[in-house]
Structure 1
Amino acid sequence: MVTPETPPASHPPLLSLGEVLNRADELLLAGQAPAARPLPTGFGLLDRYLAGGLRGGELCLLGGPQGLGKTAFALMVARHAAAGGEACVVVSYEHDQVTLLERMVSLEAGDSIGMEGVHLRRVREALERTRGGSLEERLSTSFGGASAVASLRGYGDRLLVHPAGPEPAGLKEIRAFVTAAAERTGRTPLLVVDYLQKIPVDGGTSDDDRIARAVAGLKSIALDLGVPVLAVSAADKAGLTPGRRLRVNHLHGPAGLAYEADVILLLNEKFDVVARHHLVYDTRSVERFRDYVVLTIEKNRSGVAGIDLQLRKRLEQSRFERDAEDVPEELVDERLFVD
């Protein structure tokens, strides 16, 4: 049985703003930054709106309907951090370690060389065969396959994963994973949780109470350990209705779920949320709309919110194109018809 997370034994001292200012000056004069440096997500336009990326001590929630690429997006952020010399801990409640490896190899190939790179299906086939060499050798005839595996070896030691298993990790274990990763890599890691509604928490009297405790626990980990936390969040039934735009109130959990988060990002199928007149009077664009998701910055304590970006789906490689764009079309919360 997982025990509830216990608060830190000691609390930070009460300081005057003058003391905080003096400490900040001491660090600045010593060539150190008193504020947490943002960790870029790798999506340039998103990072610009987030004032650089995800920050230590902050919790970012990523929500969206099933099958729209939440895990792919989260793994892309993890890959960008590790490949850039940072560390990352991925706690998955959905996938085993081999499935995560398959996704990372395909993602790496696509991120590096585009759609010509090996697809997820081909990587999976290579790992399913029982005969014939290493993974690099098995993918040597697939464009970008061997080089993707070689690149993954280069940063793989900084990307630590805790896959789905019979005993899911609770908040206490997640905190220990982050501490161990910092000691192992010498870096403050990004924490990715996929997904928060599956974190086991004792003591909740209802599903909403359990989820509230889980999200509060993740925020506590972010603050106590000074790490950025990206947590995938499931949607409720109302948020999965075709033609309806998923909003923060559609995330599965209590109404106060969003209060703990510093940043909330929501994914929606573009075809489902684009205004009707774009579909009626611009029929050539209908199929193109299906190739994109809308990524909305629903909440952002470090900058602007209410921003809609579009990302091109490349889910056959478990990824999106990184060159996000502002959405040029009008979007709606609910269409009056479904195709």
Structure 2
Amino acid sequence: MNDELSTIGATLTLTEDRMRGGRHTSERLWPTGFDGLDPVIGGGLRQGSLVLLAGAQGLGKTTFAVQVCRTVARSGRPVLYFSYEHDAEDLVLKLMAMEAGERDDAHQVRLTAFREAFDATDTGPIEERLAGVPGALRALAEVRAYAERLFVHRSTGSRTDLAAIRARIDEVHEATGTVPLVVVDYLQKVLVPGGPADEVERSTAIVEGLKDLAIDISAPVLAVVAAEKEALRSGTRMRTHHLRGSSALAYEADVILVLSNKFDVVARHHLTYDLGNAERFRQWAVLSVEKNRFGRDGVDLEYRKRFEQGRFESEGREVAEQLIDDRIFTE
């Protein structure tokens, strides 16, 4: 996309050409692989859209993002992951545990077992290191099948700005012939050269830049975002207004997703009268669709946490229980 003037008539012509050429709507969508979510947001992540993913530390934002990357890469499309906080090998471990965990009927797969195998002092090929880890060799084969489509950039807050992000996207496009899904983990760490000292102003510049980027490349940008400290209190449900730089984030984003611990946001009466449920709630995360330009918002979905396997179970459902914004008690 460029800055040249156009008309709706010209756009209609391009749309007709796309339809005649058999380029269907599915080409403009990147399914996340999470049941329940894709139908709500219009079939998946949409080209030219900016999607923000928020949640407190430890709630699985990176896990969720990596799981989406894996779905897209497995579908045959490239992915470019800008990792400001995680080493590429950590992402490999997550991917392998995800693959093994999905086929683990006996619940034996553990992310820690993969990590121990990777960290062992033994020499020799990776297959030998993983031979004793349940499901590991099949998982390795699965990851290798899409590994060349999943690009990871070790990003830093001192070097990786929007220009660097765009340059790496162009490299992947040239190498693969396809514009990648772009994931930024996380937004507030993107460098703004010579930018303002105020974090809200920096966040505004970054989110505006990422939105422009998504439109320019005609691909989705999924960005993990941080929250204000007040939203990190136990029993507080994170909302859009809790995001750092929230006014600009809320305005620019097409979709805003927020992860919460179900135990922290379910109404008190569900905890008081059914202690068995109270413990069960700890095993589930709530994914709230806070904003959605492509369908319904205000939708709360729940996914079972399998963090010992580096993943969420992808089968989701709408939350049946009452959720609240702030509980007046803690454990």
Normalized against structure 1, the TM-score is what?
A: 0.93
Please tell me the residue identity of whatever aligns with 1:214: I
Distance in 2, Cα, partners of 1:115 & 1:315: 16
Instruction: Give, in angstroms, the shift of residue 254 of structure 1.
Output: 4.3
Please tell me the residue identity of whatever aligns with 2:281: F
Distance in 1, Cα, partners of 2:252 & 2:156: 28
**Alignment equivalent of 1:151, drawn from 127, 142, 152:** 142
Alignment correspondent of 1:129: 120
Deviation per CA, 1:164-199, whole angstroms, max 9, x where unpaired? 458541111111111111121222211011100100
Alignment correspondent of 1:321: 313
Instruction: Give, in angstroms, the shift of residue 35 of structure 1.
Output: 8.6
Distance in 1, Cα, partners of 2:181 & 2:92: 18
Q: Are 2:68 and 1:95 aligned?
A: no
Alignment correspondent of 2:66: 75
Gaps of 5+ in 2: none
Instruction: Give, in angstroms, the shift of residue 202 of structure 1.
Output: 2.0
- CA shift in 2, pair 1:214/1:111, >3 Å: farther
SS in 1 for 2:297: coil
Distance in 2, Cα, partners of 1:69 & 1:34: 30
2:288–2:300 Cα contact (<8 Å) kept: yes
Instruction: Give, in angstroms, the shift of residue 233 of structure 1.
Output: 0.5
Q: Quick check: 193-202 or 245-254, which moved more?
A: 245-254
2:287–2:302 Cα contact (<8 Å) kept: yes
**Identity of matched residues, %:** 46
Distance in 1, Cα, partners of 2:30 & 2:298: 21
Distance in 1, Cα, partners of 2:102 & 2:75: 13
Please tell me the residue identity of whatever aligns with 1:14: S
Alignment correspondent of 1:277: 269
Normalized against structure 2, the TM-score is what?
A: 0.95
Distance in 1, Cα, partners of 2:212 & 2:163: 11
How many residues align structurally? 330
- CA shift in 2, pair 1:166/1:114, >3 Å: farther
**Alignment equivalent of 2:6, drawn from 14, 17, 20:** 14
State the superposition RMSD in angstroms.
1.8
**Alignment equivalent of 1:298, drawn from 265, 268, 290:** 290
Gaps of 5+ in 1: 1-7
2:83–2:152 Cα contact (<8 Å) kept: yes
Please tell me the residue identity of whatever aligns with 1:163: R
Deviation per CA, 1:105-160, whole angstroms, max 9, x where unpaired? 11222234467363211111111112142222211221111111111111000000
